[in-house]
Structure 1
Amino acid sequence: MNLFYILFFFIIIQRVIEVMIAKRNERWMKQQGAIEVGEDHYKWIVLVHVLFFLSIALEAYNETLELTMWHGFLFGIFLVTQGFRIWCLTSLGRYWNTKIIVLPGANLIAKGPYRFFKHPNYLVVGVEFIVIPLLYNAYFTAVLFPIFHLLLMKIRIPHEEKALMEAYKS
């Protein structure tokens, strides 16, 4: 099995594990009295992520995938984004989720990358939506899905900001 297939399946397994972690965190937070907001757009985020992998699979189906210097550079960027992704998730701990779930009265997390800016994980996803398809010579996907991501973030971030401001008022 070639490196590119291994990487593709690794990323999918990683996403499945993240969804499982998010579900566990969601249960814990709701047991503590957390509330979910912005549910209406969440289905679109899920759809875009599923279509992202399908698009890569279809676009790269018959591509000759070789580990060139270009792919080595992209793979390096991918590894850095994975480190950054893990830093984001571990910094939020049990508060990390794929949904907007806030726990009124809790302290707003301001450690790790969240010391420097508010939504670092969305930056990671945006970079991945470019880098991962380019690893597979899926150029259409590398152009289209970052646009979808930006459009969704224009909806999601204001919902999240409003929920955080209301939940963490001093």
Structure 2
Amino acid sequence: MTSLAAFTVLVVLVGVERLAELVVSKRNAAWSFARGGVETGFSHYPAMVVLHTGLLVGALVEAYVREPHVPSALAWSMLGVVVLSQALRWWCIVTLGHQWNTRVIVVPGMAPVRRGPYAVLPHPNYVAVVLEGFALPLVHACWITAVVFTVLNAVLLTVRIRVENAALSTLSQEPAGA
């Protein structure tokens, strides 16, 4: 298998993983809404979907159009970062359980989760997103996609984290599951 074919398979697998996330997210959003969950910040959500889809499409387009030389040290090290980012993402999903979804929905009366990766960082899932956003394209030396996604994602995350922090500030500050 050529490195371009292997990269294509990797990007498709990440896309399938993202679809699995959306299934979990939809189920968890329904759970939250059934318990009186309140959604905030929906206006930036479509931009987030476009940006994350653009990461996958952009990486493949750049790989096929530019056909960059891919140093194996870069490919393997960035693949390692992609795998670690996926592990961190799923650690976040499992830790938050029903409270995790891709939207900002809080259930009144629930306390913020402060265990697992949330005991160390307030937004560990976004660390996973940042890592994956530059590492995935760089598995195939697609530096343009990596830079464009990273810059646009930084802008989006400033909005997203502000919205999420405001929503979380409405919750009891007693940690859930502590």
Q: For this structure pair, what is the TM-score category when the shorter chain's length is used for normalisation?
A: over 0.9
Equivalent of residue 57 in structure 1, options 56, 60, 64 = 60
Distance in 2 separating the partners of 1:33 and 1:114: 23
Instruction: Name whichever of 2-11 and 33-42 sits farther off.
Output: 2-11
Q: Tell me the distance in 1 between the aligned counterparts of 2:69 and 2:101.
A: 34
TM-score (norm 2): 0.89
Question: Are residues 146 and 95 of structure 1, via their aligned partners in 2, closer, same or farther at CA, if it must alter by over 3 Å?
Answer: same
> Residues 84-95 of structure 1 correspond to what in structure 2 (within 5 A)?
84-95=88-99
Partner of 2:150: 146
In the alignment, which residue of structure 1 is the partner of 2:48?
45
Q: Decide which of 112, 132, 142 is 2:116's aligned counterpart.
A: 112
Which of 38, 63, 74 aligns to 1:35? It is 38
Identical-pair percentage: 32
The letter of the residue matching 1:8 is V
Q: Which amino acid aligns with 2:55?
A: F
Shift of 1:64: 6.0
Matched, 1:134 2:138: yes
Q: Secondary structure at the match of 2:169?
A: helix
Moved more, 117-126 or 48-57: 48-57
CA deviation profile, 1:50-74 (whole Å, cap 9, x unmatched) = 1111211211115267671221111
1:72-112 Cα shifts (integer Å, max 9, x gaps): 11111111111111111111011111100000101211111
Question: How large is the RMSD of aligned CA atoms in angstroms?
Answer: 1.6
Q: Indicate conservation of the 8 Å contact 1:41/1:156, yes or no.
A: yes
Residues 4 and 65, structure 1, Cα contact 8 Å, conserved in 2: no
Q: Secondary structure at the match of 1:101?
A: strand
Unaligned runs of 5+ in 2: none
Unaligned runs of 5+ in 1: none
Q: Which residue of 1 aligns with 2:159?
A: 155
Cα distance in 2 for residues equivalent to 1:138 and 1:64: 7
